[in-house]
Amino acid sequence: MKEKRIYNFNAGPACLPLPVLEEIQASFLNFNGSGMSITEISHRSKWFDDVINDAIARTKRLLKLDDTYHVLFLQGGASMQFCMIPMNFLADGRTADYVNTGTWSTKAIKEAEILGKKINVVASSEDRNFSYIPKNIQFNSDATFVHITSNNTIKGTQWASFPDTKGVPIISDMSSDIMSRPLDVKKFGMIYAGAQKNIGPAGVCMVIIRDDMLKLIPKNLPAMLKYTTHSDKNSMYNTPPCFGIYTIQLVMKWLEETIGGLENMEKFNQKKAALLYDFMNGSDFYKATADPDSQSLMNVTFRLPTEALEKEFIKQSIENDFGGLKGHRSVGGCRASIYNATPEGAVDALVDFMKTFEKKNG
């Protein structure tokens, strides 16, 4: 067993803030004097009521959400939302616009098509292997919503600013960059995020949904697949993923009380990403795969001169306690995921390792 923690650059499940892990460890056998673990207490108890309500309150404060927004914690991950969104919002001949920026957008589009819903793919970056975020998109004024993926873990691209949809609500999959920066939430009818990349462990999906979207939901859907079922019951229609929600609560506390809010978090993330991108921009050995104006602050994807060198880079990185630097199996290459919880020191250490590897192999 390792006596020390590695530098964790996994894309998800990903690193969590060390103070959060330490608080979980300290309270795990006896949560808040209950004599039970958080994994054992009743979800109907006051102990858990306090957890979920605090998680919601902190989320609302961090994102500056008013009372027209509901914060839900669902199971099934972001992938479940790919079908729930068209089921809930595209009844009665309604249409929606989708922007395709890579794997997760493609999956969301496919789910809507499987359901026979009318959608328009109004922009795509597939022509250049999803290496950029489309610009100057012409959205349809009669669309019920516009669906985007705010950050693309596999291709390493991110919306630097969100599109002007002329008042059409945006629904965004923010699984990999939620809580990484402030948002103008008025643009969004719904935000959803699998927790395991930036705010918690696998097994829970955060859904932030506005009142006007809830009014679109038809009654003839299975109970578990209706957002109103969960908003009406404060995410406790059935037994929720208690441990995941508890961890999210602690991450929100860390963001509020240790980081000092999303403005500070954004500055910290910009600084970490700049360390990597600036180094690679000055190197002929490492090449970022995304266009400069579309590069993600969360997932830095890059290639080396040959696949053989990439394999050796991954091998040596593991030997030197750098985890998760292998690119997604669908694209190859390398990837450093530098989410909120990744400390600056980890990025400094990675750049030093990359310099040493280039010197020996360049």
- As a whole number of angstroms, the distance between CA 166 and CA 73 comes to 29
What is the enclosing helix (H) or strand (E) of 300? strand 299-303
Per-residue pLDDT of the chain (362 residues; tens, 9 = 90+): 566 899 999 999 999 999 999 999 999 999 999 999 999 999 999 999 999 999 999 999 999 999 999 999 999 999 999 999 999 999 989 999 999 999 999 999 999 999 999 999 999 999 999 999 999 999 999 999 999 999 999 999 999 999 999 999 999 999 999 999 999 999 999 999 999 999 999 999 999 999 999 999 999 999 999 999 999 999 999 999 999 999 999 999 999 999 999 999 999 999 999 999 999 999 999 999 999 999 999 999 999 999 999 999 999 999 999 999 999 999 999 999 999 999 999 999 999 999 999 999 98
Q: Are strands 157-158 and 151-152 parallel, antiparallel or unpaired?
A: antiparallel
Q: What is the pLDDT of residue 4?
A: 86
CATH 3.40.50.300 fits 21-259, yes or no: no
Q: Please give the structure tokens belonging to residue 16.
A: 């969590």
Q: Are strands 334-337 and 188-194 parallel, antiparallel or unpaired?
A: unpaired
Find where tokens 């990025």 sit.
Answer: 347
Q: What is the pLDDT of residue 1?
A: 57
Domain with CATH 3.40.640.10 in the chain: 21-259
CA dist list (Å): 272 to 161, 265, 279, 295, 334:
19, 11, 11, 13, 17
- As a whole number of angstroms, the distance between CA 197 and CA 293 comes to 23
pTM over 0.95: yes
Cβ-based neighbour number of residue 322 at 10 Å: 21
Any idea which residues carry the catalytic annotation?
A: 104, 173, 197
Q: What is the pLDDT of residue 219?
A: 94
CA atoms within 13 A on the CB side of 58: 24
Q: What is the pLDDT of residue 2?
A: 61
Q: What is the pLDDT of residue 92?
A: 86
- As a whole number of angstroms, the distance between CA 7 and CA 39 comes to 28
CATH code reported for the domain at 261-361: 3.90.1150.10
Domain with CATH 3.90.1150.10 in the chain: 261-361
